[in-house]
Amino acid sequence: MMHIAKKRIILCGMGTVGKAFARLLDERRGQVAKKYGLDIEIAAAVDVGGAAVADHGALPLDELLVHVDAGGTVETFSPHGRPGVSGVEAISSIPAEVMVETTPTNLVDGEPARGHIFAALNNGLDVVSANKGPLVLFHREILELAKDKGCRIFMSAATAAALPTLDVGVICLAGANVLAVEGILNGTTNYILTRMHLEKCSYETGLKAAQEMGIAETDPTLDVEGLDTRNKIVVIANRIFDRHFGLDDVAVEGITRVTPADIDKAVEAGKVIKLVGSAELNDGDVTISVGPTVLETEHPLAAVNYAEKSISYLTDTMGRVTVTGGKSSPTGAAAALLKDLIHTVMLAA
């Protein structure tokens, strides 16, 4: 009979991704226990106004989701609601093994996720994060504290949601030396460039189409200026190359200045333009950049179209390894969080 390991988690953030994760866990808890020998209990769910806490066992996720979907808040979820309890307070006082971080990304000071992650590590909890903010701004400090406390950081959901960027680079390429990483890490920009390439439209027309489909935000700056891709490639490069790069270490150019003439010129040369985030190792130094890149049609990223994403690793012993796809949605991010939780057992040190 398979041994069942129990993991009590504290979920910080009950927004779109947090709810998607709770819903997925509610649906898959029995399956995960049967297949992987892991029983996951949410001991507490924390949001802006407070927390819902299970004094014993697990929170009833089905009931909590009905309550939240109807407009309720975690702190008003009777009898588990605890108004005013912060994430840091919950992490510091509720017995658990893992903290799952899904609050909105803040690239100014990393809060509240920064406080959650540091509190979790200081209390001996592993961290599973969909939040890029602290991982970009405080990478060195987080890794040093995790090492000091004997804890682990899992961050798949922070690097292109369901696309297994880090799993491939860290697990599948173990033993190989990664020479370069190239990725189409933002679905919005890839959708716009694909429309410009295949339909000969302008950037403005492609953007409008993306907004009408709900692929692009009303304010698309984070995507189209290359900032989202920058954030992701920094996290990936730091993990793959064991460095501590920050946002200022990346040369960034978005797609707003790409014209139909640029697209036509590339097509005439038998090439294609994609927004690529890259990290390349040369003589011990790693260079990171984000920008529109003219690719040969034989390049594996050249055929990645519309809102799809992809990452390609060039190695010394395994050659080039490329993965494409991965659902870009709250469900995709939730699936990456669940995968990382399973890996806390499968990849136990």
pLDDT for 164 beyond 90: yes
Give the position of tokens 């490329």: 322
Q: Is 25 helix (H, G, I), strand (E, B) or coil?
A: helix
Q: What are phi and psi of 312, to 5 degrees?
A: -130, 125
Question: What pLDDT shows up at residue 1?
Answer: 59
Task: Round the average pLDDT of the chain to a whole number and report it.
Answer: 95
Query: Distance (Å, rounded) from C-alpha 279 to C-alpha 237?
Result: 6
Return the pLDDT at 281: 97
For the stretch 300-346, pLDDT in tens is 999 999 999 999 999 999 999 999 987 778 899 999 999 999 999 88
Q: Name which of 30, 321, 35 is nearest 182 in CA terms.
A: 321
Average pLDDT for 52-77? 96
pLDDT at 309: 96
d(CA 132, CA 159) in angstroms, rounded, equals: 8
Q: Which of 2-11, 96-105, 330-339 has the lowest mean pLDDT?
A: 2-11
pLDDT at 49: 97
pLDDT, tens digit (0-9, with 9 covering 90-100), for 229-282: 999 999 999 999 999 999 999 999 999 999 999 999 999 999 999 999 999 999
Nearest-angstrom CA–CA distance, 173 and 240: 10
Decide which of 68 and 161 is more confident.
Answer: 68
What is the mean pLDDT of the segment spanning 77-101? Answer: 97
Please indicate whether residue 56 or residue 50 has the higher confidence score (pLDDT).
50
Predicted local confidence at residue 30, as pLDDT: 94
- How many alpha carbons fall within 13 Å on the CB side of residue 99? 34
Scanning the chain, the segments in alpha helix (DSSP H) are 16-36, 61-69, 87-93, 113-122, 133-137, 139-149, 165-166, 187-199, 203-212, 221-224, 227-241, 260-268, 330-346
Catalytic residues: 232
d(CA 137, CA 94): 27
- Which phi and psi angles does 117 have, rounded to 5°? -65, -45
Q: How confident is the model over 282-303, as pLDDT tens digits? A: 999 999 999 999 999 999 999 9
Q: Cα(201)–Cα(111) distance, rounded to whole angstroms?
A: 40
Q: Which pair of tokens denotes residue 31?
A: 């399956």
Question: Is a pLDDT exceeding 60 seen at residue 120?
Answer: yes
Phi, psi of 173 (to 5 degrees): -105, 20
Q: Exposed, middle or buried, 45 (CB in 10 Å: 0-12/13-18/19+)? A: buried
pLDDT at 16: 94
Q: Residue 161 has what pLDDT?
A: 83
Domains and CATH numbers, the chain: 5-162+330-346 (3.40.50.720), 165-324 (3.30.360.10)
Q: Who's near 204: CB < 8 A, 6+ residues apart?
A: none
Q: What is the mean pLDDT of residues 118-126?
A: 98
Task: With both helix axes pointing from N to C terminus, report the angle between 260-268 and 187-199 in degrees, rounded to the nearest 10.
Answer: 70
Residue 56, pLDDT score: 83
Whether cis (ω within 30° of 0) applies to the bond prior to 330 is no
